[in-house]
């Protein structure tokens, strides 16, 4: 014979969840209030304020420029899809395979030259390296507009990958570190 037990779910849990009793703190004594560690001297406070002011100034100057550079690199990288939509394959007499090779050439050089570009960044100062690769990336982008056939497109896309890897990785690293 089966026994069915009557359990009133709502009476034990209630509308707002189970009933709880407050915890008693009398066993362990009063609660301790801890304060965060603060600098002890005025020179440490001044050093912290100076550091914050310098970082804020650097962030206000570099982050907008690097964000714009990253956006432009992204647009340049993806612009070949728009060019295909506007009959680039017809104008350059590209086959589907040649178009795919041009796409692959960019990402192959992009991934191949990532580490060498970071090594060059360490050897040169960022104030020299960033304008240099930005200028080279812009020059290669302009050269992409004057290609006449598939081979030229593939070579220009490879150079574009080489130049954009350093500018985009530098801006990503700068934004992440700050």
Q: Which is more confidently placed, 146 or 177? A: 146
Q: Which is more confidently placed, 35 or 113? A: 113
Confidence at residue 22, expressed as pLDDT on a 0 to 100 scale: 54
- Range in 9-18, 67-76, 78-87, 116-125 the model is least confident about: 9-18
Q: Which is more confidently placed, 124 or 108? A: 108
pLDDT confidence band for 36 (50 / 70 / 90):
low
Q: Is the dihedral of CA 38, 43, 44, 48 positive or negative?
A: positive
* Residue 30 resides in a domain: no
Q: Which tokens in the block code for residue 120?
A: 């060059």
pTM of the model: 0.60
Q: What Rg, from alpha-carbon coordinates, does the chain have?
A: 30
* Residue 99 resides in a domain: yes
- Tell me how far apart the alpha carbons of residues 74 and 68 are, in angstroms, rounded to a whole number: 10
* Residue 39 resides in a domain: no
How many Cβ atoms from other residues are within 10 Å of residue 64's Cβ? 10
* Residue 48 resides in a domain: no
* Residue 131 resides in a domain: yes
Number of domains in the chain: 1
Domain that includes residue 73, residue range: 54-177
Confidence at residue 101, expressed as pLDDT on a 0 to 100 scale: 93
Angle of helix 114-123 relative to helix 150-177, nearest 10 degrees, comes to 60
pLDDT confidence band for 56 (50 / 70 / 90):
confident
* Residue 149 resides in a domain: yes
Average pLDDT taken over every residue of the chain: 76
Task: Give the pLDDT mean for 99-119.
Answer: 89
* Residue 111 resides in a domain: yes
- Tell me how far apart the alpha carbons of residues 54 and 156 are, in angstroms, rounded to a whole number: 40
* Residue 158 resides in a domain: yes
């Amino acid at each position: 014979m089966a026994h069915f037990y009557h359990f009133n779910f709502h009476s034990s849990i209630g509308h707002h969840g189970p009933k709880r009793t407050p915890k008693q703190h009398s066993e362990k004594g009063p609660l301790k209030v801890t304060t965060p560690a603060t600098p002890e001297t005025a020179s440490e406070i001044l050093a912290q304020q100076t550091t914050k002011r310098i970082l804020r100034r650097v962030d206000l100057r570099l982050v907008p420029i690097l964000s714009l550079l990253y956006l432009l690199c992204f647009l340049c990288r993806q612009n070949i899809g728009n060019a295909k939509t506007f009959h680039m394959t017809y104008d350059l007499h590209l086959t589907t395979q040649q178009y795919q090779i041009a796409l692959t050439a960019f990402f192959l050089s992009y991934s191949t030259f990532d580490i060498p570009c970071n090594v060059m960044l360490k050897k040169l100062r960022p104030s020299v390296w960033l304008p240099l690769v930005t200028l080279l990336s812009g020059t290669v982008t302009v050269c992409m507009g004057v290609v006449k056939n598939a081979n030229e497109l593939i070579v220009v896309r490879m150079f574009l990958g080489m130049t954009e890897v350093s500018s985009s990785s530098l801006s990503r690293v700068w934004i992440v570190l700050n």
